[in-house]
Structure 1
Amino acid sequence: MKFLKYLLYFLLGFIVLFLAAGVLKPSVNYGHEIIVDKPLKEAWAVHKDKSKYDQWLEGFKSMELISGEQGEIGSQYRVVVKPDEEQPDFEMIETIVDKKKFDFIRLDFDSDMMFFEQTTSFSEIEGKTKVKTESKVSGKNIFMRSMFAWMELLGGSFQAQEEKNIEGLKRVIEGNTTVYNLEN
C-alpha cells in the first residue's frame, strides 16, 4: 500500500512539474541568422520561390492560396508538412501579416495545436546578404505549451529545426541558378 501511495505522489509531482513549464514558459522564442554570398534581391527571390521550399524546409509537402491576393499582406495559404515518415501530414494556415519588399516578411501560422509567428529579415552587407529569422511558437492549450517548453528545454528542438532549415536556405540561395525578375 505504501508503494502505491508513493507512486501516486510521484505521478502527481511529475504532472505538476510538467504543467508548470507551460505556465512559466507559455511560448518558445528562437531564431537563426546566416550570411549568403548572393545579392539581397536574389536572396529575397529565392526565399519566396515556392518551387524551392521542399529543398530547404524539412517535411514541406504543399502550399495553396485559400484567400487574398498571391504574396500580398492578408493573403492566406494552406500549408501541409510531414514532420517525419511515422507521423501524419500536418496542416497549418499561413497568413502574410506584414512585409516590406527586399527587407522583411512576417508570417503567422495557425493549426489545431499551436500558433506560430515568424519574421524573416534581409539586409545587404558588402555585396552579401544577411538573412535573420525571429520565431515564436505557442501551444493552444496548457498541455501543448508544456510540451513545447520541455521540448526546447531538454533538446532545443525548435532552435535546432530552425537552424537546419535556414542553413538549408543558405545552400539553396548560394546554389541558385534561376533567373528572377528582381523588380517584383
Structure 2
Amino acid sequence: MKYEQEIIINKPRNEVIAKFSDPSSLKHWQEGFIFMKPINGNLGKEGSQNLLKYKMGKREIEMTETVLTNNLPVEYTATYEAKGVYNFQRNRFLETPDNNTRWISENEFRFNGFMKLFGWFMPGAFKKQSKKYMTDFKAFVENGKSVLDS
C-alpha cells in the first residue's frame, strides 16, 4: 500500500526542522509515544537505528527505525519495522514563497502474517494515523500545542 500526504506548516522551514529532528519533541506530536532508544550508530545519521515504543489502545508496539537518508532540511527517509509491518517513509520539507513549510510524506507499507488482513481491510487506518501525526505536528510547531495536554 502506497500513499502520499502533505500539509502546510505556517512557520519557516528552519523552525519546522528544529522540532522534527529533536527526539524530545516526539511525545508532543505522536500520540502514544513512550520512548526512543538508539540501538545502532549515531542518532539521526544514515544507517543508524532506534527502538521506538508506542501505546496504541491497550497494546504496546515496538518498532525499529532505520535512517536511510538524512539531508535535512530537505529530506529525511527511514524504514519502520514492527511485527508484521514494514513502512518505508520519505519526508520532504519545501519552503513556500510566503516563508512557510510544505511537508510531503510518502509512505509505503508492506504486511506479513495476520497484519496482511489488517492492511487489506483497513488501509484507511494507516492513512488516518499518518495524517493525525502531521496535523498534530503542525499544531505543535505553530502553537506549541502538545498531544500530552489532551
TM-score by length of 1: 0.74
Counterpart residue number, 1:162: 130
Greater share of strand: 2
Q: Structure 1: how far apart are the matches of 2:143 and 2:118?
A: 37
Q: List structure 1 runs of 4+ shifted beyond 3 angstroms.
A: none
Q: 1:82 aligns to what SS in structure 2?
A: strand
Q: Structure 2: how far apart are the matches of 1:93 and 1:70?
A: 13
Counterpart residue number, 1:102: 73
Q: Is residue 129 of structure 1 aligned with residue 129 of structure 2?
A: no
Q: 2:56 aligns to what SS in structure 1?
A: coil
Counterpart residue number, 1:20: none
Matched to 1:98, the amino acid is: T
Counterpart residue number, 1:58: 31
Q: 1:41 aligns to what SS in structure 2?
A: helix
What are the residue-to-residue correspondences of 1:36-75 with 2, within 5 Å?
A: 36-75=9-48
Q: Structure 2: how far apart are the matches of 1:112 and 1:132?
A: 26
- Is the Cα–Cα contact under 8 Å of residues 31 and 162 in structure 1 kept in the other structure? no
- Is the Cα–Cα contact under 8 Å of residues 44 and 70 in structure 2 kept in the other structure? no
Which of 139, 143, 147 is the equivalent residue of 1:171? 139
The structure having more radius of gyration, on CA atoms, is 1
Q: Is residue 119 of structure 1 aligned with residue 90 of structure 2?
A: yes
TM-score by length of 2: 0.90
Matched to 2:40, the amino acid is: S
Query: RMSD of the TM alignment (CA)?
Result: 1.2
Residues 89-122 of structure 1 show CA distances to partners (whole Å, capped at 9, x for unaligned) of 1101100011212101001011221111111110
Q: Structure 1: how far apart are the matches of 2:107 and 2:38?
A: 22
Query: What runs of 5+ residues in structure 2 fail to find an aligned partner?
Result: 145-150
Identity of aligned residues (%): 28
Q: Structure 2: how far apart are the matches of 1:164 and 1:107?
A: 19
Q: 2:122 aligns to what SS in structure 1?
A: helix
Q: Structure 1: how far apart are the matches of 2:41 and 2:63?
A: 16
Q: Structure 1: how far apart are the matches of 2:72 and 2:29?
A: 21
How far 1:166 sits from its partner (Å)? Answer: 0.3
Query: What runs of 5+ residues in structure 1 fail to find an aligned partner?
Result: 1-27, 177-184
- Is the Cα–Cα contact under 8 Å of residues 80 and 92 in structure 1 kept in the other structure? yes
Q: Structure 1: how far apart are the matches of 2:7 and 2:136?
A: 10
The number of aligned residues is 143
